[in-house]
Amino acid sequence: MHKILLVEDSKEIYTMVNQAVGSYAELSWVENISDANEFLQNNEISLLLLDIELPDGSGIDFCSKLRMEKPDLSIFMLTAHSELSEKVLGFSAGADDYITKPFALLELKARIDARLNRIEQLKSASDLMKWDVIEIDKGRQEVKVRVGEKFEALDLTALEFKLLVYFANEPGHVFHRDKVLNDIWGEDVHVYARSVDTHVSKLRRKLGDLAPIIESVHGSGYKFNPSASLN
């Protein structure tokens, strides 16, 4: 479920927003910038609805600050002012949309729905890694490999999937065994550097003809080369 934070000192606005999104999103409400800062330090959200005039400061200044700290956060500005100059200030501060109060409930819902749908689309795209011979969906934790003219699902354990994604996130980069060991297994004292070789070997066996995409680098470790199986 998407999480939305409303920063607004009017309970009436909160009630309207809750009517618009309460059935499909988790709405949190604070009345000032100080509380918004604290909330954002401890919570991840999909969308921020930010009033311009708040008891302890300017929503535009806060928007500008957040845009530097959280460049991917979606921000809608709320204001009772409809002047073009104020809208320009809001967009210049990094707002994604600008909603003038009073607003129609259906319009608010439509704007929020459009933004949340776009967030979902971008997330799906970022979760999917595709090459000619292999597709890795991090969101669904699925791997498909090319077999002839079609793709077939690969049955990997959670650890094998984690290892494959780890390599695939940086194609061509050489991952040293000790680094892999620390990043994948952490401080587990029962796992040794050569255990990496064992798990990579198991992963390669499952990859079958695509095993060459995980290349051994003599004296160092491994690298992901999705074009290796085409050579």
Dihedral sign for Cα atoms in the order 43, 44, 46, 48: positive
- pLDDT at position 83 over 80: no
> Domain-by-domain residue ranges, the chain?
2-127, 131-230
Say if CB 165 and CB 186 are below 8 A apart: no
pLDDT at 125: 67
Same fold, 2-127 and 131-230: no
Say if CB 3 and CB 73 are below 8 A apart: no
Which two structure tokens, joined as six digits, stand for 199? 């798990």
Topology of 2-127 in CATH?
A: Rossmann fold (3.40.50)
pLDDT at 75: 96
Mean pLDDT check: name the lowest of 142-156, 194-208, 216-230: 216-230
Topology of 131-230 in CATH?
A: Arc Repressor Mutant, subunit A (1.10.10)
Give the closest residue to 33 by CA, choosing from 47, 52, 18, 19: 52
Rounded to whole angstroms, how far apart are CA atoms 136 and 127? Answer: 8
